[in-house]
Amino acid sequence: MGFWWRPLATLSVIALFALLLGAGGGESLALKFAVLALLGYLVRQLWQENRLARWLEQGADRPAPSDIGVWGDIFYRLEKLQKRQSESQSELISALARFQHATEAVPDGIVILNEQDQIAWCNPASRKLLGLDSQRDRGQFVRYLLRQSDFVDFLNARDYSRQLNINSPANRDIKLMLQLVPFGAEQKLLMARDITELERVDAMRRDFVANVSHELRTPLTVVGGFVETLNDMDKPADADLRHYFGIMLNHTRRMQRLLDDLLTLSRLESSVNAVADEQVYMPELMRELAREGESLSRGKHTVRLEIDSQDWLSGSLQELQSAFSNLVSNAVRYTQEGGELTLRWFVRDGQPVFAVTDTGEGIASEHIPRLTERFYRVDRSRSRETGGTGLGLAIVKHILTRHGARLDIQSTPGKGSTFSAIFPAERLIPSKNEDEKPRLSLVK
């Protein structure tokens, strides 16, 4: 039941007494009684209000004033409410303290940015990794504190799937991987991870592979040279020996191709330089690639050329030629005799595209995402038979990534495949003149 009935009952009792007194003939006595009783009632209300105000003023953690009736109820309920509130407040404080301890223990730098990219908060690790101070830098625009142009571009791009590797602005010896994670309304978490050790181990692995490949190359060239000489001799001992020399020659050539591909990959991986800014006349490169495909195919396939654009491509001629050759060579190697290869150069939605379509054996969809991994082959023996090293598409992917391009693979088992290198629109250099002569001669 609500509070209203008790004051109403008190007022009713006063009114009843006043009426009884009035009925007994004492009208003025009844009036005096009513006035005095109401005055008394009012004074009591004011006194209780005053107690309540003082209790609230003194900080409500002291016990509430005790009373009977309505005010007793009010004090009791307020005290209960107060207790519940202070309990949830202390829970909140301890949760905050736990969160603070956890973020202090996190080795990664964590910075909360508001919608204008101002620093709202950062953890202690961001001081060591990013040189930020949670007190001093709160409210500052992060781009004024981390001024590397790569970082500013990364921040402005708002591409939350991207990661950026930079040197720490606080210590040049520390390598950082940065990532932006959106949350709430337009807020972001900037995460900075120390990847110095990872990069060191990766560099060691790259150097090891490059050194081993390099060291093996010279002895292999010597052995290969002798085997070739023996194989070419006019009077070999007997047919068996000639057969063995043939096998040895095949294997030394395969190992040489493998070492060449390993060296190409490690050169691409360790290349810190931006990709060369050459202008490649694609129609001429396409004709060169078609000739290469015909010579690899030795007349076993039909090679078609579709040049729908006279435009140029900006990038490294040597790298682009190597990537496209790999795709053409795969199309020849994985297409049975009598099949067809189509090499295309065109512009789609402003993006330049190089594509090779074959009518070969095709690839089941579960293999497609893994094809660019080193040594991943759908059919190991088929790859070896046709002289594959298992590194071709890994090289293609590296070269395309360096050019900001991506590799798209469409394939239907039994029907054939299309491998497309899709470049960003900025790499397209429109031809001004249809009869334009190549501005760069192609390296053979």
Q: Which amino acid is at 196?
A: T
CA atoms of 180 and 196, how far apart (whole Å): 19
371 touching ligand ADP, by CB under 6 A: yes
Of 376-405, which residues contact ligand ADP (CB under 6 A)?
A: 376-379, 383, 388-394
Nearer to ligand ADP, 341 or 428 (CB): 341
CA atoms of 302 and 116, how far apart (whole Å): 58
Q: Which of 71, 339, 361, 403 binds ligand ADP (CB under 6 A)?
A: 361
Interstrand relation of 302-307 and 340-348 (parallel, antiparallel or unpaired): parallel
CA atoms of 151 and 92, how far apart (whole Å): 36
Structure tokens at 388: 């594959």
Least Å distance, CB 431 to ligand ADP, is 30
423 touching ligand ADP, by CB under 6 A: no
Least Å distance, CB 417 to ligand ADP, is 5
Beta carbons of 227 and 243 less than 8 angstroms apart = no
417 touching ligand ADP, by CB under 6 A: yes
194 touching ligand ADP, by CB under 6 A: no
Q: Which of 283, 311, 358, 420 binds ligand ADP (CB under 6 A)?
A: 358
357 touching ligand ADP, by CB under 6 A: no
Least Å distance, CB 413 to ligand ADP, is 9
331 touching ligand ADP, by CB under 6 A: yes
Q: Which of 281, 271, 268 is nearest to 323 (CA)?
A: 268
Q: Which amino acid is at 381?
A: S
Nearer to ligand ADP, 168 or 420 (CB): 420
Q: What is the DSSP string of 195-221?
A: -HHHHHHHHHHHHHHHHHHHHHHHHHH
| Stretch near ligand ADP under the rule CB under 6 A, chosen from 160-168, 190-198, 308-316, 353-361 | 353-361
Q: Which of 151, 312, 324, 334 binds ligand ADP (CB under 6 A)?
A: 334
Report the helix count and the strand count for the chain, using DSSP H and E.
12, 13
If binding means CB under 6 A, how many residues of this protein chain bind ligand ADP?
21
Q: Which of 178, 363, 407, 428 binds ligand ADP (CB under 6 A)?
A: 363
Residues composing the chain: 444
Least Å distance, CB 362 to ligand ADP, is 6
Is 69 in a helix, a strand, or coil? helix
Q: Which of 138, 137, 135, 146 is nearest to 120 (CA)?
A: 138
Which positions touch ligand ADP (CB under 6 A)? 330-331, 334, 358, 360-361, 363, 371, 376-379, 383, 388-394, 417
